[in-house]
């Protein structure tokens, strides 16, 4: 019964093992005769576990690759219960770990397991190996013995051996005198033995010797060696200074020479490595006999200085590695004759800035590593973090890697960006680089710039930089890896604007403010710097630049006070005030935001509102009454207005002002009372009448102010003094020459005649066309108002369609109103049909009677039209910024109420089609 159970188990074992086998040879199986002594316990990837006579055996194999077996507890490889392969397994190498063969041989034992080894045998573990154990392995080229116990004549069994690796074992004395004569590579790893010239001479084929020891390593060069590698602790690797004419590579880790002598018989030496060497200096003629040296690596030594002329003989040197010494300077002309130097590593020394001068002429380099020279400092621009000059490396145009990690560098030099067009890696990590400018990010190559290990606190763009980003001129080739913890104030404004306009104009990771949040998402009000000199008492004033849409380059450079950033917008916040703040004239002109909530302001007058205000917060004050004039100015001035929490009176006297506010698009809260029905028909009449009258009044007031030459001059002088006068063209700075107002029914005429003709030719006009230049989704009345004010003229294409279109009509009135206010012929009427046939209302009829109009069909139509329109410029039109993103142009001040055309209902917002 017992035997039968064993059989069943063995069968299961085979079945399961076979099912997981890779294609080709199946894993070994327990021999049938060993039922009860051998069990399969499971498998991993290419790994199989068995229990043989109560001890675990691990087997790994890869068909054609390797066979590995590990025995434990005195299990021998000759044990008859060991699992074996059904089909012969042929592998390049076999590893036998802790598996003795006692009196037998490894070849016989492997034969029983059905394994054939073709190239290399490795025997590990405390096993005794004599000649019998290695019998019949003559065909193997490579043998590795680890931790085994050898006899003097053990290796005689394998006369054809080409590679021998002895590790962690004692070599019996005399064993090295009779090494297989075919040996080509000999490695002795912790064997306590050295190699003498006599031993090496008996090995005519030997090309490579490696001696690695924990105490001492020595070789007397002899024979025809190509490579000698000695590795030992510091000062314990010894090789005589007379080398071998055949030697190509010499590796000396822990070289013992304190006062090295010049190498002799060094003619063919191409690569010389030392590591942990004891020498503090080298003789000038150290390499004189080594004319073929290509690579010199003297790492982690104690070198304090190099002799002049050290490399003069090694003209073809392409790699020099001096990492981790104590050098602080290079001798004069060290590389004078080395025209092929490609890689230079001077990291982890104590070099200073003078090093750059020593490297100036080494222009053949591909890689330059200067890491961890903490006194190196910036290669350009002195110690200042503001000057980005040209470094002494400027002629290294073939560099692909420049590493300056931890070198106290403060800036990115200009030549690294502009000259090194092959650069792939620029490592500036662990440096105090905290200020980056726009130009710092403009690389000519697709380099990865590593700036990790410090926080960038300033990202400085100028207005010109912003404009060039918007024009798409930024180079996003470099991948800049920096961590940003920016001071997000007025100095970060243009960078923020550029990132908003074109987020991918440079390749940067998250550009974040130290106080939290992305720079691009920071509200304009946060990107300000305090400006107490501009401020009224009890108020806090902060300025920032103002992103006017980019215009053509100014005719002459703007006059600016030196060192003063162009600050064009003013944010004012007041606490504990009872009146609207009185701002200086210059300040008032640039005030864009007044934060006045939670004060005790009881009166707001039309003159209290700065002319370019965009945001006005008057919540929770004591305002009980507003006159219609002020309400109108409030409704049409700021883009955002808050009035909640004021004790506004809700009587019939207040109703005209309230109804203006109710219609105000800017109002962000429901501060006003519901309409007072009992006040009768007054509201609309009042609105219309009051609106018109007051608009004219306000416009007149503005004109009066601007008409006072003294006041105008004072304002201008103040602006110049602050460097605030924006760069203007000689004209009025308006974006468009003409806003074409037309009805949908006449679109074909507009596209095919007007636009085709006016936007072409030598002096094309810049037309504002709703189907092209309006931001999608913008509030239509605001877009009408913005377009009229951003254009020199409004060209109304008047037809029957037009007069029936509420929107077109609104546009006409807007332009008409502005024309009245500015006493300028802003409105140009183009009649598509005979005026007599058009249903003109009295106002328009009056306008046409006193102003010229152009009639389609007139033989002088185009001449007349061009005379009526201001002269065009030679630039394509730019789209209007989306509503609420770009501030309105300076002239886009809305002083006039938005007049409904026929009646208020027709201006409802349901339709997004501007022309009904
Ligand atoms: C291996 O399998 C045998 C037979 O199934 C079992 O007796 C032994 O405990 C197993 N060994 C291990 C380590 O799982
Ligand atoms: C292995 O053999 C040695 C001597 O040959 C013996 O001292 C040791 O106890 C054995 N170990 C086991 C686990 O049998
Ligand atoms: C490195 O050089 C600086 C001066 O350049 C010197 O003060 C410092 O002691 C040097 N450090 C070492 C370790 O030699
Ligand atoms: C830079 O590399 C090019 C192409 O490999 C080579 O022709 C040129 O001589 C190199 N420049 C220098 C200064 O070595
Ligand atoms: C960089 O900023 C982070 C937090 O923003 C801080 O934890 C870190 O210490 C800073 N690193 C340096 C080098 O200043
Ligand atoms: C406002 O005035 C009150 C009383 O006059 C005072 O306690 C408070 O500190 C003032 N607040 C500010 C911000 O000045
Ligand atoms: C303002 O709105 C709030 C909530 O939307 C409402 O409770 C309140 O009555 C409104 N006030 C007026 C004056 O309409």
pLDDT at 16: 40
Between helix 682-707 and helix 709-722 the angle, nearest 10°, is: 80
Of 616, 642, 662, which marks where a domain is finished? 662
Distance 363 CA to ligand 3 centre (A): 28
pLDDT at 679: 66
- 852 CB within 6 A, ligand 1: no
Band the pLDDT of 825: cuts 50, 70, 90. Answer: low
- 118 CB within 6 A, ligand 5: no
> Exposure of 607 by Cβ count < 10 A (0-12 exposed, 13-18 middle, 19+ buried)?
middle
Of 662, 686, 716, which marks where a domain is finished? 662
Lowest-pLDDT range of 237-246, 537-546, 808-817: 808-817
Contact 543, 570 (CB under 8 A): yes
Q: Do 480 and 622 share a structural domain?
A: no
Distance 191 CA to ligand 4 centre (A): 48
Q: Do 488 and 465 share a structural domain?
A: yes
Whether 394 is covered by a domain: the verdict is: no
Distance 34 CA to ligand 2 centre (A): 22
Tokens of 422: 């092959």
Residues 6+ apart with CB under 8 A from 590: 543, 546, 567, 568, 569, 570, 610, 612, 724
**Mean of pLDDT values over 757-766:** 82
Read off the pLDDT of residues 94-113 as tens digits, 9 standing for 90 and up: 999 999 998 889 999 999 99
pLDDT at 519: 96
Q: Do 833 and 792 share a structural domain?
A: yes
Report which of residues 394 and 779 the model is more confident about: 394
Whether 708 is covered by a domain: the verdict is: no
pLDDT at 718: 31
Q: Do 916 and 791 share a structural domain?
A: yes
Band the pLDDT of 12: cuts 50, 70, 90. Answer: very low
Distance 364 CA to ligand 4 centre (A): 6
Domain that holds residue 631: 528-550+565-662
Task: Indicate the top mutation candidate among 302, 328, 348 to test ligand 3's pocket, ranked by most ligand atoms within 8 A of CB.
Answer: 328
- 485 CB within 6 A, ligand 5: yes
Whether 522 is covered by a domain: the verdict is: no
Give the Å distances, CA to CA, from 242 to 199, 273, 326, 363. 17, 16, 27, 35
Instruction: Write the Ramachandran bin of 417: left for phi over 0, alpha for psi from -120 to 50, otherwise beta.
Output: alpha
> What ligand has the least distance to the C-alpha of 127?
2
Q: Do 613 and 586 share a structural domain?
A: yes
Locate the ligand 5 atom nearest the alpha carbon of residue 514 and give its number.
5
pTM confidence score = 0.67
- 39 CB within 6 A, ligand 1: yes
Contact 303, 275 (CB under 8 A): no
pLDDT at 59: 95
Q: Do 809 and 761 share a structural domain?
A: yes
Read off the pLDDT of residues 780-800 as tens digits, 9 standing for 90 and up: 666 777 777 788 888 888 888
696 pLDDT higher than 60: no
**Mean of pLDDT values over 629-639:** 84
Q: Do 573 and 658 share a structural domain?
A: yes
Tokens of 48: 């199989």
Whether 285 is covered by a domain: the verdict is: no
pLDDT at 9: 35
Whether 389 is covered by a domain: the verdict is: no
Q: Which value, to the nearest 10 degrees, does the dihedral of the CA atoms of residues 415, 418, 421, 424 take?
A: 70
Residue 573's domain is classified under what CATH number?
3.80.10.10
**Mean of pLDDT values over 566-585:** 80
Give the Å distances, CA to CA, from 530 to 80, 541, 599, 722, 733. 91, 6, 21, 15, 29
Q: Do 762 and 652 share a structural domain?
A: no
Using CA positions, which residue lies closest to atom 14 of ligand 4? 364
Cα R_g (the chain), whole angstroms: 45
Read off the pLDDT of residues 349-400 as tens digits, 9 standing for 90 and up: 999 999 999 999 999 999 999 999 999 988 887 666 677 889 999 999 999 9
- 575 CB within 6 A, ligand 6: yes
pLDDT at 801: 79
Q: Do 543 and 496 share a structural domain?
A: no
Lowest-pLDDT range of 439-448, 489-498, 550-559, 734-743: 550-559
Lowest-pLDDT range of 84-93, 617-626, 636-645, 796-805: 796-805
- 41 CB within 6 A, ligand 1: yes
pLDDT at 440: 94
Using CA positions, which residue lies closest to atom 1 of ligand 1? 41
Q: Do 468 and 538 share a structural domain?
A: no
Domains of the chain: total:
3
pLDDT at 382: 64
Distance 229 CA to ligand 4 centre (A): 33
**Mean of pLDDT values over 428-443:** 94
Of 640, 662, 684, which marks where a domain is finished? 662
Instruction: Write the Ramachandran bin of 825: left for phi over 0, alpha for psi from -120 to 50, otherwise beta.
Output: beta
- 487 CB within 6 A, ligand 5: no
Place of tokens 């399961």: 16
> Cα–Cα distance between 348 and 840 in angstroms, integer?
88
Whether 255 is covered by a domain: the verdict is: no
Band the pLDDT of 669: cuts 50, 70, 90. Answer: confident
- 452 CB within 6 A, ligand 5: no
89 pLDDT higher than 90: yes
Distance 352 CA to ligand 3 centre (A): 9
The DSSP call for residue 439 is G
Band the pLDDT of 851: cuts 50, 70, 90. Answer: low
Band the pLDDT of 4: cuts 50, 70, 90. Answer: very low
Report which of residues 368 and 757 the model is more confident about: 368
- Which among 1-5, 642-646, 789-793, 812-816 has the top mean pLDDT? 642-646
234 pLDDT higher than 70: yes
Residue 882's domain is classified under what CATH number?
3.40.50.10140
Distance 66 CA to ligand 1 centre (A): 26
Whether 641 is covered by a domain: the verdict is: yes
Task: Indicate the top mutation candidate among 340, 362, 398 to test ligand 4's pocket, ranked by most ligand atoms within 8 A of CB.
Answer: 398
Contact 244, 265 (CB under 8 A): yes
- 600 CB within 6 A, ligand 6: no
Place of tokens 């020479």: 257
Chain-wide mean pLDDT for the chain?
A: 81
Whether 283 is covered by a domain: the verdict is: no
pLDDT at 497: 93
Using CA positions, which residue lies closest to atom 1 of ligand 3? 350
- 16 CB within 6 A, ligand 1: no
pLDDT at 357: 93
Q: Do 543 and 504 share a structural domain?
A: no
327 pLDDT higher than 70: yes
Q: Do 803 and 885 share a structural domain?
A: yes
- 55 CB within 6 A, ligand 1: no
Place of tokens 């074109």: 502
Task: Indicate the top mutation candidate among 41, 53, 55, 83 to test ligand 1's pocket, ranked by most ligand atoms within 8 A of CB.
Answer: 41
Using CA positions, which residue lies closest to atom 3 of ligand 6? 576
């Amino acid at each position: 019964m017992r035997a039968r159970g064993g059989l069943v188990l063995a069968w299961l074992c085979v079945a399961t093992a076979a099912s997981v086998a890779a294609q080709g040879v199946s894993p070994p199986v327990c021999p049938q005769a060993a039922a009860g002594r051998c069990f399969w316990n499971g498998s991993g990837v290419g790994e199989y576990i068995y229990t043989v006579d109560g001890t675990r055996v691990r087997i790994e194999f890869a068909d054609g690759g390797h066979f590995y077996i590990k025995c434990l507890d005195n299990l021998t490889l000759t044990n008859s219960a060991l699992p074996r392969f059904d089909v012969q397994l042929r592998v390049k190498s076999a590893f036998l770990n802790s598996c003795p063969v006692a009196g037998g041989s490894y070849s016989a034992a492997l034969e029983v397991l059905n394994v054939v080894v073709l190239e290399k045998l490795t025997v590990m573990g405390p096993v005794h190996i004599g000649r019998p154990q290695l019998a019949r392995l003559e065909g193997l080229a490579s043998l590795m013995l680890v931790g085994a116990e050898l006899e003097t004549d053990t290796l005689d069994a394998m006369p054809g051996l080409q590679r021998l690796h002895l590790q962690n074992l004692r070599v019996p004395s005399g064993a090295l005198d009779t090494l297989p004569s075919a040996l080509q590579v000999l490695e002795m790893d912790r064997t306590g033995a050295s190699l003498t010239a006599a031993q090496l001479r008996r090995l005519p084929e030997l090309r490579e010797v490696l001696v690695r020891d924990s105490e001492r390593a020595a070789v007397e060069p002899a024979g025809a060696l190509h490579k000698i590698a000695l590795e030992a602790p510091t000062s314990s690797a010894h090789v005589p200074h007379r080398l071998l004419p055949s030697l190509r590579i010499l590796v000396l880790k822990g070289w013992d020479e304190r006062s090295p002598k010049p190498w002799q018989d060094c003619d063919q030496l191409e690569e010389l490595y030392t590591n942990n060497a004891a020498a503090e200096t080298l003789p000038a003629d150290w390499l004189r006999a080594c004319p073929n040296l290509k690579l010199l690596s003297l790492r982690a030594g104690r070198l304090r200085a190099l002799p002049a002329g050290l490399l003069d003989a090694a003209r073809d040197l392409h790699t020099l590695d001096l990492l981790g010494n104590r050098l602080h300077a290079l001798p004069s002309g060290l590389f004078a004759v080395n025209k092929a130097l490609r890689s230079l590593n001077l990291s982890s020394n104590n070099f200073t800035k003078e090093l750059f001068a020593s490297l100036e002429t080494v222009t053949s380099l591909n890689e330059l590593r200067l890491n961890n020279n903490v006194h190196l400092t910036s290669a350009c621009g002195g110690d200042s973090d503001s000057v980005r000059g040209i470094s002494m490396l400027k002629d290294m145009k073939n560099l692909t890697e420049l590493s300056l990690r931890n070198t106290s560098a403060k800036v990115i030099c200009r030549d690294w960006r502009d000259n090194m067009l092959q650069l792939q890696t620029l490592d500036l990590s662990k440096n105090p680089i905290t200020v980056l400018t726009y130009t710092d990010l403009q690389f000519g190559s697709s380099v990865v710039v590593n700036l990790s290990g410090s926080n960038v606190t300033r990202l400085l763009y100028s207005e010109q930089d912003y404009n060039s980003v918007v024009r798409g001129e930024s180079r996003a080739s470099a991948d800049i890896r920096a961590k940003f913890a920016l001071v997000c104030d007025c100095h970060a404004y243009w960078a923020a604007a550029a990132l908003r306009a074109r987020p991918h104009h440079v390749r940067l990771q998250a550009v974040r403010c130290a106080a939290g949040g992305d720079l691009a998402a920071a509200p304009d009000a946060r990107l300000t710097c305090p400006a107490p000199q501009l401020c009224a008492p009890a108020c806090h004033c902060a300025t920032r630049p103002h992103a006017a849409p980019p215009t053509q380059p100014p005719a002459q450079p703007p006059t600016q006070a030196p060192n003063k950033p162009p600050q064009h917008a003013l944010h004012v916040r007041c606490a504990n005030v009872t009146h609207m703040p009185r701002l200086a004239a210059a300040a008032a002109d640039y005030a864009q935001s007044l934060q006045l909530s939670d004060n005790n302001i009881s009166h707001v007058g039309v003159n209290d509102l700065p002319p370019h205000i965009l945001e006005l917060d008057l919540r929770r004050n004591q305002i009980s009454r507003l006159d219609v004039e002020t309400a109108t100015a409030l409704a049409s001035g700021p883009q955002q207005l808050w009035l909640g929490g004021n004790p506004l009176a809700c009587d019939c006297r207040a109703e005209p002002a309230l109804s203006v506010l109710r219609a105000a698009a800017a109002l962000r809260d429901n501060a006003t009372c519901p309409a007072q029905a009992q006040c009768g028909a007054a509201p609309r009449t009042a609105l219309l009448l009051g609106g018109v009258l007051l608009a004219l009044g306000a416009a007149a007031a503005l004109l009066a102010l601007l008409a006072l030459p003294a006041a105008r001059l004072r304002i201008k002088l103040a602006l110049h003094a602050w460097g605030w006068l924006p760069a203007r063209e000689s004209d009025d700075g308006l974006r468009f020459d003409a806003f074409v107002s037309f009805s949908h029914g006449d679109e074909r005429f507009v596209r095919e005649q007007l636009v085709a003709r006016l936007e072409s030719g030598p002096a094309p006009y810049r037309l504002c066309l709703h189907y092209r230049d309006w931001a999608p989704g913008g509030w239509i009345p605001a877009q009408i108002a913005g377009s009229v004010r951003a254009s020199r003229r409004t060209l109304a294409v008047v037809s029957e369609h037009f007069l029936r279109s509420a929107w077109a009509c609104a546009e006409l009135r807007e332009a008409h109103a502005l024309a009245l206010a500015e006493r300028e012929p802003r409105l140009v009427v183009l009649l598509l049909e005979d005026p007599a046939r058009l249903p003109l209302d009295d106002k328009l009829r009056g306008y046409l009677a006193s102003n010229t109009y152009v009639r389609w069909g007139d033989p002088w139509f185009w001449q007349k039209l061009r005379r009526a329109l201001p002269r065009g410029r030679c630039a394509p039109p730019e789209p209007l910024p989306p509503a609420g993103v770009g501030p309105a142009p300076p002239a886009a001040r809305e002083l006039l109420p938005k007049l409904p055309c026929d009646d208020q209902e027709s201006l409802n917002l349901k339709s997004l089609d501007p022309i009904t």
